[in-house]
Amino acid sequence: MSITKNLNHLYRNISNDIVVVAVSKTKPNEDILEAYNSGHKSFGENKVQELIEKHNALPKDIEWHFIGHLQRNKVKNIIKFIHLIHSVDSYKLLNEINKRAKNENRVVDCLIQVKIATEENKYGFNFEEIDDVINFSKNLKHINVKGFMGMSTLTNDNNIINNEFSKLQNIFKNYKSKTLNILSMGMSNDYNLAIENGSNMIRLGSIIFGKRN
């Protein structure tokens, strides 16, 4: 199937209040342009260098989402144009984004990444830390915390995934407001479960662009 067909198929099957971030990491610019020309505007990348190259080469009205672990020393390279950073996982990163955003005279939208998977090496804050992180962020004038992002455990066991998504949905419900209103959960293999658990932003790569090598 073509990228356009994949997107059309997807849009027929999900409600139109759900934002689809097309995860284009490792995929060439032609693939992104095909999606763009079919009307899609939101793309996600997880490597700073790759994101910058794509941003430079592609239409300027693309909304770029950063979804990978972000190193502090690279924040300055994307701060001018980034649309939403999904992967804020430390206080130091919050401070750095705030500082660089201030230099650019902008307020940057961010999501707090929450560690919902049991796997050892997943980034993100623990549930117990969220309250402090939210309060801390309120003092950062150049950061707008728009919500939360979570990644489930890589497993075929839907009960485990469901349980993890449901915990993050509960956190989201506690903090949800007019301005904090994004719940980014769900990838190609688990987006239906994520939507059942209140996700309103899904990050889809392989189901749109095909498998990555």
Which of 22, 67, 117, 161 contacts ligand PLP by CB under 6 A? Answer: 67
Would you say 131 or 154 has its CB closer to ligand PLP?
154
Torsion (CA) 26, 30, 36, 42 in degrees, nearest 10: 10
Q: How far is the CB of 54 from ligand PLP (least distance, A)?
A: 15
45, 62 Cβ separation under 8 angstroms: no
DSSP for 6-25 reads HHHHHHHHS-TTSEEEEE-T
Q: Is 208 exposed, middle or buried (0-12, 13-18, 19+ CB in 10 A)?
A: buried
Contacts of 12 (CB under 8 A, 6+ apart): none
Beta carbon nearer to ligand PLP, 68 or 140: 68
3-state secondary structure (DSSP) of residue 114: strand
Stretch that binds ligand PLP, among 56-64, 115-123, 129-137, 204-212 (CB under 6 A): 204-212
Stretch 94-113: interaction string toward ligand PLP, x if CB under 6 A: --------------------
Binding residue (CB under 6 A) for ligand PLP from 3, 143, 187, 193: 187
Q: Give whichever of 107 and 160 is closer to ligand PLP, judged by the CB atom.
A: 160
CB nearer to ligand PLP: give 62 or 140: 62
| ∠ Cα 179 94 167 (to 5°) | 60
The window from 27-35, 56-64, 158-166, 185-193 that contacts ligand PLP (CB under 6 A) reads: 185-193
Per CB under 6 A, 140 contacts ligand PLP: no
- What is the rounded distance in angstroms from the CA atom of residue 27 to the CA atom of residue 50? 10
- Chain residues binding ligand PLP by CB under 6 A are 23, 25, 46, 67-68, 151, 187-189, 203-207
